[in-house]
Amino acid sequence: MEPDDEPGGDPVCWAARVCPECGAFAEAEPPTRCARCGAEIPAS
């Protein structure tokens, strides 16, 4: 198994967009605000 072998995929990139409060996926690049719960999603 090679978990990080997706072409063009970068798990770190999308993981930074996940809301720390509710786990929703942000539509915009951090820093932004969660569309579901309004929590701030800081740039990492």
Instruction: Report if residue 40 touches Zn ion, rule: CB under 5 A.
Output: no
Instruction: Report if residue 28 touches Zn ion, rule: CB under 5 A.
Output: no
**Cβ atoms of residues 44 and 30 within 8 Å:** yes
Instruction: Report if residue 10 touches Zn ion, rule: CB under 5 A.
Output: no
Pick left, alpha or beta for residue 36 (phi over 0 → left; psi -120 to 50 → alpha; otherwise beta): alpha
Q: Which of residues 21 and 29 has its CB atom nearest to Zn ion in the complex?
A: 21
Residue 11 CB, shortest distance to Zn ion, in Å, is: 20
Instruction: Report if residue 15 touches Zn ion, rule: CB under 5 A.
Output: no
